[in-house]
């Protein structure tokens, strides 16, 4: 099971970020087979990296610049992220897509990051559910545009995070049975695109209002490979309880 903590633009200080990371590291001996990845804001990567170094907890970034070896104001390169110890990169989160990241940009970031040796977490998900199942076509088209040129041999470094936008930052998550349906659908589409025979090679996470109260239902009924967690990943006690639950 893979648990990715997406801290977004929280907390406000390096000190708080350090406290959260320290508490998670301290408990990491009890994580068993669960792999935990912390994705703090860029500015706290160094702090968190130093704290979790040598533990089972991994470091991830929330974004990366397209390509490498360039100069670009305001951006963060894959070299910087590598030197900070990041192993994972989230690509195409709906909040970034909402800021103007097109499918084309998402594809470039994804291919650049995976070729640089990162494990990439590609976020997909519909804005709203339609009775006519339009979400399936939408997700399929996001997967096709991001993965059509993806090198099949790097499948082990690809994780798909299904995050229905309507369920992010809300009081309720999607139900486990519905997540299962989409999980199967994503695995089928990705195996078609990349010509992968064993669907177990395709890892799918769910994200959107996951808490310690619904994580078990989501992972069991959704039969997914992990979770992408926003708010609850900053509340240390809840987050540790959630890991214990699953
Ligand atoms: P949430 O955020 O857990 O706060 O809903 C999830 C995400 O946006 O990745």
pLDDT digits (tens, 9 = 90+) for 116-172: 999 999 999 999 998 898 999 999 999 999 999 999 999 999 999 999 999 999 999
Q: Are 225 and 1 in contact (CB under 8 A)?
A: yes
Count Cβ neighbours within 10 Å for each residue of 58-76 and write b for 16 or more, e otherwise. Answer: bbbbbbbbbbeeeeeeeeb
What are the phi and psi torsion angles at 69 (to 5°)?
A: 70, 20
Ligand 1 neighbourhood includes 210 CB (under 6 angstroms) = yes
pLDDT means over runs of 10, the chain (246 residues): 98 98 97 97 98 97 86 92 98 96 97 96 95 94 98 97 96 96 98 94 97 97 98 98 95
Tokens of 161: 């995070």
Active site includes 93?
Answer: yes
CB atoms within 10 A of CB 158: 23
Token pair 């195996």 is found at: 191
Active site residue 163: yes
Q: How many CB atoms within 10 Å of residue 203? A: 21
Q: Is the CB of 169 under 6 A from ligand 1?
A: yes
Q: Which of 2, 3, 8 most suits a substitution to test ligand 1, by most atoms within 8 Å of the C-beta?
A: 8
CA distance 14 to 168: 25
Among residues 107, 126, 142, 163, the one annotated as catalytic is 163
Catalytic residue (choose from 93, 107, 212, 232): 93
Which three-class secondary structure state does DSSP give residue 159? strand
Looking at residue 69, its pLDDT comes to 67
How confident is the model at residue 173, as a pLDDT?
Answer: 96
Residue whose CA lies nearest to ligand 1 atom number 9: 230
């Amino acid at each position: 099971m893979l648990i990715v903590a997406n801290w977004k633009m929280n907390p406000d200080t390096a000190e708080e970020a350090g406290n959260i990371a320290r508490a998670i590291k301290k408990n990491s001996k009890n994580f068993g087979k669960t792999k935990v990845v912390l994705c703090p804001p860029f500015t706290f990567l160094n702090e968190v990296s130093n704290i979790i170094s040598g533990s089972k907890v991994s470091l991830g970034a929330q974004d990366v610049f397209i390509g490498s070896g360039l100069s670009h104001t305001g951006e963060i390169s894959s070299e910087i992220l590598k030197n900070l110890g990041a192993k994972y990169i989230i690509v195409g989160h709906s909040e970034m897509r909402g800021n103007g990241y097109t499918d084309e940009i998402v594809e470039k970031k994804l291919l650049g990051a995976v070729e640089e040796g990162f494990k990439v977490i590609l976020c997909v998900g519909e804005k709203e559910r339609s009775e006519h199942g339009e979400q399936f076509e939408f997700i399929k088209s996001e997967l096709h545009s991001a993965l059509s040129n993806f090198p099949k041999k790097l499948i082990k470094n690809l994780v798909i995070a299904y995050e229905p936008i309507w369920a992010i930052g809300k009081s309720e998550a999607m139900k486990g049975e519905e997540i299962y349906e989409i999980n199967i659908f994503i695995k089928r589409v990705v195996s078609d695109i990349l010509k992968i025979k064993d669907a177990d090679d395709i890892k799918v996470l769910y994200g959107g209002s996951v808490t310690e109260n619904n994580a078990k239902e989501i992972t069991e009924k959704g039969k997914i490979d992990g979770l992408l967690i926003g708010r609850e990943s900053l509340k240390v006690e809840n987050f540790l309880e959630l890991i214990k639950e699953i």
